[in-house]
Chain A
Amino acid sequence: MASHDLRDVLNLPSDHSAGPRPSKKQKTGTPRPNLKGLAREVQNLGGDNPIAIVPEVSIFKKRRIASRKPVTKWELKAFTNSARADDGALVLRHWKRKSEAETPSESVEDRGSQQPDGMAVDGERDTDKVDDSAFAKFNVRVAVPQYNEDQYHRNLQHNDWTKEETDYLLGLAEDYDLRWAIIWDRYDFTPKTAEIETDSNVSTAVFKPRSMEDLKARYYEVAAKMMAVQKAAQYMTGPEFELYETMQNFNPDQELRRKKFALETMSRSKDEAREEESLLLEIKRIMARTERFNEERRELYNRLDYPSTDSDINSFKSSAGLQTLLQNLMNVDKSKKRKSIIVPGAEAATPTTAVPGSAVSETAPPNNTNNSTSNRRESIAASVPGGGHRDSTAGTPATPVEPAAPNAANKKKGAAPPERRKLTEQEETIYGLMHHERLGSGPTFRYEKINKLYSHKSGQQQLRITNALAELDVPPRLAMPTAAVTAQFELLWAAVTSLVDLRKVCDKLDGEIKIEEAKKAERDKARGISGGDVKDKEQSGGKTKPGATSTSGEGRPGTKRPASSGGGDKLAAPRPSSSGTHKRSASVLSSTSDKSSKRQKK
């Protein structure tokens, strides 16, 4: 019995403060009645802490009558399966809940709206409205390459396979969804001609049986070729090309060898199996160990970091050179020391061990270093893919693809994983890989490159070029600057600039001719009666406002004649009219700038 029970019985006040009592009573008041079948005494043993018994709720199953919904109705409903090939001719019937049955669970207005058409459907349900099977969507067919007679003769000829047999193979592949085990199992080709005379049991004997590899090889050949016919390799998407490649590279001999090997493993004895298993385990252990070892070694090499060795060593061959080298090393070493102080994780001993290590590797003839260490390193790099900076610098001279030019750009290239896959030309186009002599640092945008073209030109030239481009309906800033487009644009741009330049020269020549003609006319006039001179002057002065400024600078050293100024104006005067006749509109716009530039030239 708990203490407070005693107190209750004896009507003693609680020894606790009055505060917690009532609250506790409230708490225990609720769960207690639930703990049925438990004597009060037992319950109270827990005292203030309620007994940790989860009360078992023994409620009877709710009576079914509780749900007062009407019995759900089921109906024998007809359905078809759209995955069938006989377009709905087969109508099967299964039991389905009547569709009205679900309306009660929906909202009232829903029901209201559904009722009428539900009734409308009722009448024709059995006859017209036939559902499609829910399982029709699971029907998936493989796509088998298609070809026509012509394509076959052009691409798929094979001296071991007739077209008839190829057709047969592809038919089987489609029928059996490319399950090769079944295709091979059912493969039983008899050419049409032979079929007529033989009665079923004498067939196949004449024909050499095809192995599964033969079938696969032929199929993949056909599939790959047709794929390439449909879409040239360089336009294939990544997965497509991958598929194309794997199909192209199918090697029946290798498959055969693999199968032979598999067969041998199947027929090995128990002891052999056990032995192999233990060997595998052993290998695993060894691999794990070498991995750890490599890891450690890599760490060690990282500590023994030395400056790049791909520089020219000739300078170090003299004693003076060695002196400078030593100096360099000291500097490097110093900086390293500083570094290691900055990095607290490094052990204190490393800088001291690093000095001789790096010195040795540096002073040794680099040829040796390369040969001896690169081998070792390569193995590390192989086991640790994408190894650190250290591995890659060592790997750089080892890969023959890279020219070992000691410049910054080269170093950057070398930072890529040393064992790079050599891409074929085709792949390069697919992946959009390009080779550049030299790349600036950081990313660049192609339109920036185009902007750069403009920036070399003067403002007027820019304007002229844009005008010319506008004439051609080419926007000055490309909407889609792909590599091909920019390349094309560059060509266009070059053409336009040369056009503008030529036009300028042409204009200049034009002008000079005019001047000369004017001079000639002047001379003629001077020789004859001088009459319309004044009128001419007035005309030009009134016509062109900028002419006033131009005349001030007109004082050409070449022509000392007073009439020369008039000649200059004369030159300007006919121009608008002439341009109006034989030049295009864009040039009209640029005529003012033309004039001013001409003035500058002069």
Chain B
Amino acid sequence: MSQQPLTTSVQPTETYGGDEVSALVLDPGYCSTRAGYAGEEMPRQVIPSFYGHIDGRDIFGDEVIVPRAGFEVRNYMNRDSVVEDWDAATKIWEHLLLKRLQPERPTPPNKNGLNIGDDGDVAMGDGDNNDENMVDNLEKPLAESPLLMTEAPWNSAKAREKAIEISMETWGCPAFWLSRTPVVASFAAGKATALVVDVGGANASVTAVHDGMVLKRSIQKSPIAGLWLSNQIRTMWEQNEPKVDLVPTFMVENKKPVEAGAPADARLRTFPFPIADSFRAFEEERLLTEFKESVVEVWRGPGRYMAPGNEDYARSQPGRVFEMPDGSNQMWREQRYKVSEGMWDETAAYASAGADEEGRVSKGQTILSLIKASLEGVDIDLRSNLIANIVVTGSTTLLNGFNDRLNMELAAMYPGLKIKVHAAGLTSERRFGAWIGGSILSSLGTFHQMWISKKEYDENGPGIVEKRCK
């Protein structure tokens, strides 16, 4: 009597409107692709969207990207975060959804190697290409799981149709849905209406979401994101006194500690084969991300970094030491602010010597201009509400001071309005915002009426995705 059992009708999931149907959620981005089970709070699998290509074969995952002969690193996406290479995309997604996420299927007894006795029955050749054939062998590898995928809001109709085609025909999903990242990112923040500021790897975008739908005229994007920042750092290192050499970790065999500012004392590895540029760039990117995480900061104000006096002030503040893989290290003071200032102030961006066209920031590409342009694309009545519901997502927003600066700039731009910036406190929530939102969405009881079912796909063809996932 003291312990009252929960009756079936009071299952906690229902009180939150949840109804889990073992759906899968896939969130492909330019830098990484994330996959997991709907209803969970983190993606189970996060692998780089970069994959290795060697001897005509594609290999996937972080751990396989190591120096090898004739090894190239590619990305299945283009710099707009839209899938370009569909063969690779299919393979990398299959790798995630089938190999990494699906529970191990029991090997048929004739193949599990335990029944060696009756040798005659078993065709021994089968075991070798078991992995590759797995998808082909099974009629419908995902026949049990509805799949929710995310996409960039500017994704092309063709790419969308391709996505549903693959999931329906190749994998046999019973149901499919395609959500735009800003929508699900705002769901992850618990909002159906929000102005989503997503600064990720290849793109920064600002999108207004109204009642769970993207407002197309509000979509604004610019390349001022993670990769751009990496290039800024590169330029900064080049222009630094002394020049900083970018030596990725895999190149260093052995290092000795040296004084700050002193040249490195390390023995580099040599490889008997040429290292592809793409591989090196990928490895450099890792190092640069590390630098972003630990050193780079956003100038919080007052005013812009370039305002007189601010640089001197920044110089007087305690800096941060960053040690390169080769052991050389240096204290970074004002540069760590300056390198990110181009996001906010186009005049502050480093102009790189080589690819000057890429590093250039135009006035319309700063985050503030994006927000402004985005708001101009929506009805006046919505604007104040959107400004009061800004959701910040994407890994590059993890830069220290990013939110403070955003707040400050917005307050200066819209002085009379209430401004509220919602940024998840947990770094993982900001990195996987879109995935988490997809996980929430696809485990909602009310969502199940939205899925595009196999039957609907069969009747209408891939064009249905344009009609339904609006």
Contacts and interface: CB of A to CB of B under 8 A. Distances in A.
B213 interface: yes
Contacts of A121: none
B216 A186 contact: yes
B449 A81 contact: yes
Interface in A216-268: 259, 262-263, 265-268
B174 A69 contact: no
B22 A186 contact: no
A266 B380 contact: yes
A62 B415 CA distance: 58
A93 B145 CA distance: 9
Interface in A258-285: 259, 262-263, 265-270, 272-273, 276
Contacts of A270: 415-416
Contacts of A181: 210-211, 215, 378-379, 381-382
B93 to A, nearest CB: 21
A179 B378 CA distance: 13
Interface stretch (B123-131, B284-292, B451-459): B451-459
B454 A90 contact: yes
Nearest to B468: A85
A175 B454 CA distance: 22
Given A90-B451, A133-B445, A186-B470, A266 B8 contact: no
A450 interface: no
| Interface size of A as a range | 35 or more
B211 A182 contact: yes
B217 A185 contact: yes
Interface string A66-98: 110100000000000101111001111111110
Contacts of B107: none
A1 B315 CA distance: 72
Contacts of A83: 449
A210 B11 CA distance: 49
A135 B445 contact: yes
Contact of B22 (A67, A93, A105, A272): A93
A259 B384 CA distance: 12
Nearest to B216: A185
Contacts of B162: none
Contacts of A90: 174-175, 448, 451, 453-455
A152 interface: no
B3 A139 contact: no
A105 B7 contact: yes
Contacts of B454: 89-90
A95 B443 CA distance: 12
A91 B417 CA distance: 47
A184 B382 CA distance: 12
B335 interface: no
Contact of A133 (B19, B378, B456): B19
B194 to A, nearest CB: 13
Contacts of B210: 179, 181-182, 185
Contacts of A474: none
A174 to B, nearest CB: 13
A85 B417 CA distance: 42
A147 interface: no
A268 B449 CA distance: 45
Contacts of A330: none
A84 B453 contact: yes
The residue in B216, B217, B414, B449 that gathers the most chain A C-beta atoms within 10 A of its C-beta is B449
Given A66-B3, A176-B213, A266-B417, A92 B445 contact: no
Nearest to B455: A89
Interface in A119-149: 133-136, 138-139
Contacts of B304: none
B3 A62 contact: yes
A70 to B, nearest CB: 12
Nearest to B146: A92
Contacts of A184: 379
B446 A138 contact: yes
Nearest to A61: B3
A90 B213 CA distance: 24
B456 A185 contact: no
B2 A268 contact: no
A102 interface: yes
Nearest to B451: A90
A272 B444 CA distance: 45
A88 B380 CA distance: 41
A430 interface: no
Interface string B33-77: 000000000000000000000000000000000000000000000
A69 B450 CA distance: 39
Contacts of B136: none
B21 interface: yes
B360 to A, nearest CB: 26
A135 B448 contact: yes
A96 B13 CA distance: 11
Interface in B360-389: 377-384
Nearest to A135: B445
B26 to A, nearest CB: 18
Interface in B74-92: none
Nearest to B8: A97
Contacts of B453: 84, 86, 89-90
A179 B456 CA distance: 26
B5 interface: yes
Contact of B379 (A67, A81, A212): A212
A265 B210 CA distance: 22
A276 B416 CA distance: 10
Contact of A273 (B7, B175, B416, B456): B416
A495 interface: no
B218 interface: yes
A181 B454 CA distance: 31
Interface in B412-470: 414-417, 444-446, 448-449, 451, 453-456, 470
B449 A139 contact: yes
The residue in B3, B22, B211, B380 that gathers the most chain A C-beta atoms within 10 A of its C-beta is B380
B460 to A, nearest CB: 10
B94 interface: no
A272 B417 CA distance: 12
Contacts of A263: 380
Contacts of A176: 213, 470
A92 B3 contact: no
Contacts of B3: 62, 66-67
B242 interface: no
B309 to A, nearest CB: 22
A76 to B, nearest CB: 9
Contacts of B383: 266
A301 interface: no
Nearest to A83: B449
Interface string A41-84: 00000000000000000000010001101000000000001011
Given A94-B20, A139-B449, A86 B2 contact: no
Given A84-B451, A181-B379, 19 more contacts: A62-B3, A83-B449, A86-B453, A89-B455, A90-B451, A92-B21, A102-B7, A133-B449, A134-B14, A135-B445, A139-B449, A176-B213, A181-B210, A181-B382, A182-B213, A185-B216, A259-B381, A263-B380, A266-B417
Interface of B: 2-3, 5, 7-8, 11, 14, 17, 19-22, 144, 146, 174-175, 210-211, 213, 215-218, 377-384, 414-417, 444-446, 448-449, 451, 453-456, 470
Instruction: List 9 A-B pairs, minimum CB-CB distance, nearest first.
Output: A90-B453, A89-B455, A135-B445, A273-B416, A270-B415, A83-B449, A92-B21, A185-B215, A259-B380
25 contacts: A62-B2, A62-B3, A66-B3, A86-B453, A86-B456, A89-B453, A93-B22, A94-B19, A94-B21, A97-B11, A101-B8, A102-B7, A135-B445, A135-B449, A180-B379, A181-B215, A181-B379, A182-B213, A184-B379, A185-B216, A185-B217, A259-B379, A259-B381, A266-B414, A273-B416
Interface of A: 62, 66-67, 69, 81, 83-86, 89-97, 99, 101-102, 105, 133-136, 138-139, 175-176, 179-182, 184-186, 212, 259, 262-263, 265-270, 272-273, 276
